[in-house]
Amino acid sequence: MRKTIVLVHGSWHGGWAWNAVAHELSRKGHYPHAPTLAGHGPNTNRLGITHKDCVDSVTAYIRYHQLKDIILVGHSFGGSVVQKVVEQLSDRIESVVFVDALILADSQCVFDNLPVEYVAAFNDLASASSDNTMLIPWEIWRDSFMQDTPESVARSIWEQLTPEPNQVNLDKLDLKRFYSLDVPKSLIFCRQDKALPQGHFHPGMSSRLGAFKLLEMDGSHEAMFTRPLELAENIVEVSLEGHGRAVAVGKRNATCSISTSS
């Protein structure tokens, strides 16, 4: 079955980050879309960009292209964006897939979910900039985000990143409606992800979802670059299987199961 899949990128990225995954999805007959969030990507205004601006850019894209029956995918910071998109467009969303994504609790901001040393470093970088933006330092990127690929490849991707509007990390989100909606939810968990401390993505933030499907795969935080085919296949697989029951996925050493928060 062909699916419409909207891929939402994370911090410092743009829609371009999903190019390889989108190629694999298209090759399999699906319809991928990868909008770039407001204030992200090259040659754009970043000053004053808020979290709401990022959300509005995705909802506007979906409405403009008249998309429906969507598999909505959020990676990293994009997880917090899709939480709000679902609230606004729940009638168009078939299911939500979080890929090692930030899943905020009600009334939290992004920085409430990051280690204090990251928050301090990012705030310092933003304060030193002229437009309240910050770029992830190379050393953190190499050691914790894309450590499973040759250094030359990791650096080539890092050089394409653009500064992040820091205000998006400070905005508190009202997520009461998100947690009241009965939209099927899944998490793809990359076993070698070191972007956040062990257990932070799962089961830390994932436990907020209630009932959800969990699919594990090998890879670092930037699996869209290092394992695009596998990630594309897993996005479709975790979305197409029946929600609400355990599923064993034998291929690619992946397992899929139901997890429920306490």
Q: Tokens 């907020």 identify what position?
A: 208
Model's pTM, two decimal places?
Answer: 0.93
Q: What is the pLDDT of residues 23-36, one digit of tens each?
A: 999 999 999 999 99
pLDDT digits (tens, 9 = 90+) for 106-143: 999 999 999 999 999 999 999 999 999 999 999 999 99
Least confident of 106-115, 173-182, 194-203, 248-257: 248-257
Residues β-bridged to residue 60 = none
CATH fold of 4-259 reads: Rossmann fold (3.40.50)
Q: Percentage of residues in the chain with pLDDT exceeding 70? A: 92
How many of the other CB atoms lie within 10 Å of CB of 242? 8
- Give me Rg for the CA atoms of the chain: 17
Query: In the prediction, which pLDDT does 16 show?
Result: 98
Helix axes 51-64, 78-88, angle to 10 degrees: 60
pLDDT tens digits along 4-15: 999 999 999 999
Give the confidence band of 247 by pLDDT, cuts at 50, 70, 90: very low
253-to-21, 105, 233, 258 alpha-carbon distances in Å: 19, 31, 13, 17
Which pair of tokens denotes residue 2? 């062909």
Cβ 232 vs Cβ 252: under 8 Å: no
d(CA 60, CA 250) in angstroms, rounded, equals 38
- Residue type (1 letter), 137: P
Dist. CA 167–CA 151, nearest whole Å? 31
Find the helix or strand (DSSP H, E) in which 72 lies: strand 70-75
* Residue-level pLDDT at 249: 36
Predicted confidence (pLDDT) per residue in 190-246, tens digit: 999 999 999 999 999 999 999 999 999 999 999 999 999 999 999 999 998 543 333
